[in-house]
Amino acid sequence: MTVSDPVVESVIATISRSATEIRQGLIGRRGTVDEENPSGETQVEADIWADELLGDRLAGIDGVGQYASEERAEVEDCGGDPAMEDVYAVAVDPLDGSSNLKSNNAMGTIFGVYDAALPARGETLVAAGYILYGPITTMVLATEESVTEYELTGGERTVVDRDVRLPDEPVVYGFGGRVPDWPDDFQEYAREIEQELKLRYGGAMIGDVNQVLTYGGIFGYPGLESRPEGKLRLQFEGNPIGYIVERAGGRSSDGNQSLLSVDPDDLHDRTPVHVGNSELVERLEDRVENRIA
Please state at what angle helix 184-194 crosses helix 278-287, rounded to 10 degrees: 150
* Cβ(98)–Cβ(90) below 8 Å: no
The helix (H) or strand (E) run that includes residue 56 is: helix 45-59
Q: Is 4 annotated as a binding residue?
A: no
Q: Is 201 annotated as a binding residue?
A: yes
Q: Are strands 137-143 and 147-153 parallel, antiparallel or unpaired?
A: antiparallel
* Cβ(232)–Cβ(93) below 8 Å: no
Q: Is 230 annotated as a binding residue?
A: no
Q: Is 97 annotated as a binding residue?
A: yes
Q: Is 284 annotated as a binding residue?
A: no
DSSP-based three-state secondary structure for 76:
strand
| Contacts (Cβ under 8 Å, ≥6 apart) of 34 | none
Q: Which residues of 252-273 are buried (b: 16+ CB within 10 A; e: fewer)?
A: bbbbeebbbebebeebbbbbbb
Work out the widest C-alpha separation in the chain, in whole angstroms.
Answer: 53
* Cβ(242)–Cβ(258) below 8 Å: yes
**Quick one: DSSP state of residue 236?**
I
d(CA 71, CA 95): 10
Q: Is 237 annotated as a binding residue?
A: yes
- Structure-derived torsion over alpha carbons of residues 78, 69, 95, 182, reported in degrees to the nearest 10: -160
Burial class (CB within 10 angstroms; exposed 0-12, middle 13-18, buried 19+) of 102: exposed
CA-nearest of 167, 161, 284 to 216 is 167
Q: Is 255 annotated as a binding residue?
A: no
Q: Is 93 annotated as a binding residue?
A: yes
Extract the annotated binding site: 70, 93, 95-99, 201, 231, 237
Binding site feature residues for substrate: 96-99, 201, 231
Q: Which residues are annotated as a binding site for Mg(2+)?
A: 70, 93, 95-96, 237
